[in-house]
Structure 1
């Protein structure tokens, strides 16, 4: 296989650009993520945050922040911010509801959708940032497949 072929396949998803790959209420499409997000949302959120922050925030740190905010019922402030960042990365619409509404009213649905979106775009949040970088190197991807160059830190 041509070294850039794998990267091209990851970059060009099978769904139209600017659309979510799954719906907000498709939680049970991946039951394991749905159950993990329902019973231990801090783990799912931590994995999502580590990927979106390109490894600068570890999943453990993000999990701790989520747990602390959960004590005062303000997790939606933290998680909706990362939904906004994810949408900006992939040029996704703020639909069917605003980011804060999704995370205030249907947090489990929101984080499972975000997790699925990353997976459907060639990222495995459970592997962490470094694990995904290694995977992309093995597949011949020159750069992470989902971050535009102007988003680099």
Structure 2
């Protein structure tokens, strides 16, 4: 049985719904991006790819306008939480309003952590106890 598709908890431009996330992103967006990566259980330095990748690829003659870390994390969050959307919309959000996209992802992860705690089941296995994470 497929789970129903959900909407983002807040819209892309709903920064005022969580002023602390908005201020954090406004005053230090790279720090916010690293926080989002960490909360999504990825390497906190992953967003640095967005800073360095355009310069590196441009030096090789390949122009790049899509921030790879922002896009990858946005798609990952959308898939993990079964959020409506498409790759095209993710690309547009990441390219044309990256700051708003990072803030929206931060708000979504805060909301999910607060309202959907991780459940850990302990199940007996052949080699002792096996931990199974459920999102």
Relative to the length of structure 1, the TM-score reads 0.59
- In structure 2, do the counterparts of structure 1 residues 62 and 107 end up closer, same or farther at CA, with 3 Å as the change threshold? same
Which is higher, the Rg of structure 1 or of structure 2?
2
Match of 2:113 among 107, 114, 122: 122
Q: Distance in 2 between matches of 1:103 and 1:142?
A: 33
Divergent runs of 4+, >3 A: 69-75
Q: Distance in 1 between matches of 2:82 and 2:11?
A: 15
For residue 117 of structure 1, report the CA deviation from its aligned partner. 0.6
Counterpart of 1:62 in structure 2 is: 46
Q: Is the 8 A contact 2:49 2:68 kept in 1?
A: no
When you count strand as a share of all residues, which structure comes out higher?
2
For residue 70 of structure 1, report the CA deviation from its aligned partner. 6.5
Q: Is the 8 A contact 1:45 1:66 kept in 2?
A: no
Q: Distance in 2 between matches of 1:62 and 1:147?
A: 24
Q: Distance in 1 between matches of 2:25 and 2:47?
A: 12
Query: What stretches of structure 2 of length at least 5 have no aligned partner?
Result: 59-63, 122-132
If asked which structure has higher relative contact order (CA below 8 Å, sep 6+), I would say: 1
Deviations 1:41-84 (A, max 9, x none): 211111111222x25x1x2x224333324657746232011100
Pair 1:34 & 2:22 matched: yes
Q: Distance in 2 between matches of 1:68 and 1:78?
A: 11
Relative to the length of structure 2, the TM-score reads 0.66
When you count helix as a share of all residues, which structure comes out higher?
1
Query: What stretches of structure 1 of length at least 5 have no aligned partner?
Result: 1-15, 124-135, 149-153
